[in-house]
Every structure is written in structure tokens, then in C-alpha cells.
Amino acid sequence: MTGEQDTGVHGPRWRALLEARWQARLRELTELSLAYHVAIAAAPAEPEAQALLRRAVTARRQLADVEEALSRLAAGEFGRCEQCGGQIPDGLLATAPELRYCARCDGEPAWIRPLAGRTAR
């Protein structure tokens, strides 16, 4: 049994959703990058160019999140919280398939998450 089957849904559904999201994020990143380069060439000091750059950086991070979710799907770990290992509800995954944490763990301070899964020595 793979991790895809453990989520209670068929892996192809999640793969299709993630791939569509990846394409949309890539398209957004490309458009923002092109707009940024046009803006910076026209007026480098304009706030619009800096705003486009911030949006492009955010879009790149979102694309990376989707790529990581695709990797988790391939590894059979999709739909599991990276901190506690619990199941992330399908409803949440349908809305944001790149989620890495369940609602309980997502509410914990970010500095605690890297410590998850470590054992005392």
C-alpha cells in the first residue's frame, strides 16, 4: 500500500490537482518575472518594480511548495503532517494541496517544527 492510498483518495486525483497548480504557479511566476524586467528597464527606482519583485519572489516560493508536494506524493508521504505524522484532512488538501502540516501543528510556533521527529541523545 502506498502513501497515496493511505490518504483515502486515489493518487492520480492529487497528482492532477498538483500538476494543474504547478502549471498555474509557473505561469504566474513567468508573467511576474517578465513584468518586473519591463518595469525595471523603464524605471528602476519605481515602487511598482519593487512590488513586482516581491510578488515574483512569493510566486517562486509557492511554486517550490507545489514541487515539494509533488515529491511527497511520489514518495508516498502526501497528506501526512511533517511534524506529527497525522493525516491532513482531504478537504484541506483539496483547497491547498501543498500543505505540510495538520491544523494542530500549523498552529504551533515555527521554531518548534524543525525539532519534530528528533530524539533526545
The pLDDT of residue 44: 82
Q: Domain extents for the chain?
A: 3-115
CATH architecture of 3-115: Up-down Bundle (1.20)
The pLDDT of residue 107: 75
The pLDDT of residue 42: 92
- The rounded distance, in Å, linking the Cα atoms of 64 and 56 is 12
The pLDDT of residue 11: 76
For 95, counting Cβ atoms within 10 Å of its Cβ (0-12 exposed, 13-18 middle, 19+ buried), the class is exposed
Tens-place pLDDT, residues 11-64: 789 999 999 999 999 999 999 999 999 999 998 888 999 999 999 999 999 999
- The rounded distance, in Å, linking the Cα atoms of 106 and 114 is 12
- The rounded distance, in Å, linking the Cα atoms of 59 and 14 is 21
pTM (two decimals): 0.76
- The more confidently predicted of residues 4 and 111 is 111
Predicted confidence (pLDDT) at residue 2 exceeds the cutoff of 50: no
The pLDDT of residue 47: 92
Decide if 32 contacts 59 (C-beta within 8 A): yes
Predicted confidence (pLDDT) at residue 7 exceeds the cutoff of 50: no
Tens-place pLDDT, residues 76-121: 999 999 999 999 999 999 999 999 999 888 876 565 555 444 433 3
- Within 13 Å and on the Cβ side, how many CA atoms surround 12? 0
The pLDDT of residue 4: 40
